[in-house]
Every structure is written in C-alpha cells, then in structure tokens.
Amino acid sequence: MALPSDYEVRRLGPEDLADVRGMLRCFGEAFEDATTYLGEQPSDRYLRELLGDLSFVALGALAGGEVVGGLVAYELRKFERERSEFYIYDLAVLEAFRRRGIATALIGALKPIARAAGGWVIFVQADAVDAPALALYDALGVREDGVFHFDIAVD
C-alpha cells in the first residue's frame, strides 16, 4: 500500500526536536499512556545526543506538518557475525489516521536504513490482545510463537 501523497515519512535528527516531542505526544495518545510519554520528557540535550546516534532510529509520519505516527527502533549489533538486527521498540499511528498505510510506510522506511547498517532482520514484539498490530506484522513478517518477554530489574 502506497502512502497517500499528503503524508511524509522521514528520519528525525537532532534538529527535529519539535517533531520528536510531537511523536512523544502521538505515542502517549495512541497508547493511552500520557504519563510515560509526556510525564518526564528528556531534555533537549539528551534528545539531540540520542538522535545523533546512528544506532537509534526515529521515524516520523507527518500530515500537514503534524506528527500523526512514529516508529522508534534500535540497532542491535551481533557478536557471532558481522551483522545487526533492528528492534522496533515503539510504533504507533493516531487513531484518526489509521488504515491508510502509515504503519506499513514507517516499517518500509526502516528497511533501507537497516540494510545500509548491515542489518539482516527487523523484529518487533506485540501484545497478544492487539489484533491490528498482529495483523500488520503477520502481513509483513514471520511470527515466532512461544517467545516470551521478561523485564528484569537492575536494582
């Protein structure tokens, strides 16, 4: 599905702080979790440093200059071979803009970035109850059932 011509997907860099903060608002609204995404936002200095790190990818989907979707991914360099995996950490589109190919376009925009960095695969986790996300990822990739996610405290 091609992205409508009135939308733009682009990689956000250190000079795009307003759009990065717009993406945080987008994630807070889309995930219904304003506390996490808006409660204690990082400083401009922190965001500029993060956005300048080539192993961090922030892609914004914009319509009329406003962020309506976004994707955040991290490059994970492997030690057993000279290659990388890219992990999609967050991907969201505002409800009013869904079903227009924006999420697919965001993932499509990540592919050449991953390829250029020596990536061989992009992977993502989804909640079992998130049927739209599962349908999207099933259409684009191969599901690995039986994989579990564990959070381990660093205390």
Tens of pLDDT, residue by residue over 124-146, are 887 777 777 777 777 778 877 77
CATH number of residue 38's parent domain = 3.40.630.30
pTM > 0.75: yes or no: yes
12: in domain:
yes
147: in domain:
no
pLDDT digits (tens, 9 = 90+) for 44-88: 999 999 999 999 999 999 999 999 999 999 999 999 999 999 999
Torsion of CA 137, 32, 68, 114, to 10 degrees: -40
Q: Which domain holds residue 44?
A: 7-140
122: in domain:
yes
More confident residue, 126 or 121: 121
Distance between CA atoms of residues 29 and 96, nearest Å: 11
Give the closest residue to 56 by CA, choosing from 41, 70, 38: 70
145: in domain:
no
102: in domain:
yes
Query: Structurally, how many domains does the chain consist of?
Result: 1
More confident residue, 3 or 19: 19
